[in-house]
Amino acid sequence: MTIKIYVANLAKYNEGILKGEWIELPMARDELQEAISNLLGTDEECAIHDYEAPFDVGEYEDIFTLNELAQDLEDVNEDEEIVNLIADDVLGVGYNKQELVRVLKDHEYSIACDVWTEQDLALKVDEEMLPFDYSIIKNTGVENYLDWESIGHVMIMDGWVIKNGYGVRVYL
């Protein structure tokens, strides 16, 4: 996964001149330093005016720290939409970007697809993720007495999130 940032030369920006470039991270530290130096010339300050990342990037965030995060995210083999959902969940409860990278790299989350309701969530997790063998009761009709919506509601209270057709649970 890459992070793209639009880095602007602040001195030129304050003079009314738009001078900047998109930089795709990660890259080697010396290449990044060279790209910033070429952009700034003799000027001293730059700012991030736009970005494409699974988390918010501040205007004055350290570009080299972002590059390190992007290097760590390179090893994450997950769909960008899933990464964005997990980022919303992790960062939304006050954790930092390094914690997000750790959760993604260590695969400390569960995903259930095609989930739109609490009942969908409970049924999907039951079918796809639980290590129990329910085949004994599934053909007896007992499952008809289970309140799947209530089970899903309890799962939401326990940290599952339903968003964009996915059920997501991050283990922090």
**pLDDT tens digits along 122-157:** 888 877 776 666 666 666 776 677 788 998 999 999
What number of residues does the chain have?
A: 172
| CA nearest neighbour of 50 among 84, 20, 83 | 20
> Average model confidence (pLDDT) for the chain?
87
Domain count, the chain: 2
Q: Tell me whether residue 47 is in a domain.
A: yes
Match 């999907």 to its residue by tokens.
124
Q: Which of 134, 125, 72 is nearest to 100 (CA)?
A: 72
Residue pair 127/156 in contact by the 8 Å Cβ criterion: no
85 within a domain of the structure (yes/no): no
CATH of the domain at 30: 3.10.20.480
The CA-atom distances, in angstroms, between 42 and each of 6, 10, 18, 123 are: 19, 12, 16, 61
Is 89 part of a structural domain of the chain? Answer: no
pLDDT value of position 31: 96
Q: Which pTM value belongs to this model?
A: 0.73
Residues 103 and 68 both lie in one domain: no
Q: What is the pLDDT of residues 84-114, one digit of tens each?
A: 888 888 777 667 888 888 888 888 888 888 9
Of 106, 76, 79, nearest to 171 by C-alpha is: 106
The string of DSSP letters for 74-98 reads TT--S-HHHHHHHHHHHHHTT--HH
Q: Do 101 and 166 belong together in one domain?
A: yes
The answer to the question of residue 112 being in a domain is yes
Please state the rounded mean pLDDT for residues 49-56.
91
Whether 69 and 104 map to the same domain: the answer is no
| Owning domain of residue 49 | 3-74
In a domain, 156, yes or no: yes
Q: Same domain for 69 and 11? A: yes
Q: Do residue 150 and residue 111 come from a single domain?
A: yes
Q: Is 36 left (phi over 0), alpha (psi -120 to 50) or beta?
A: alpha
Task: Give me 164's structure tokens.
Answer: 């964009």
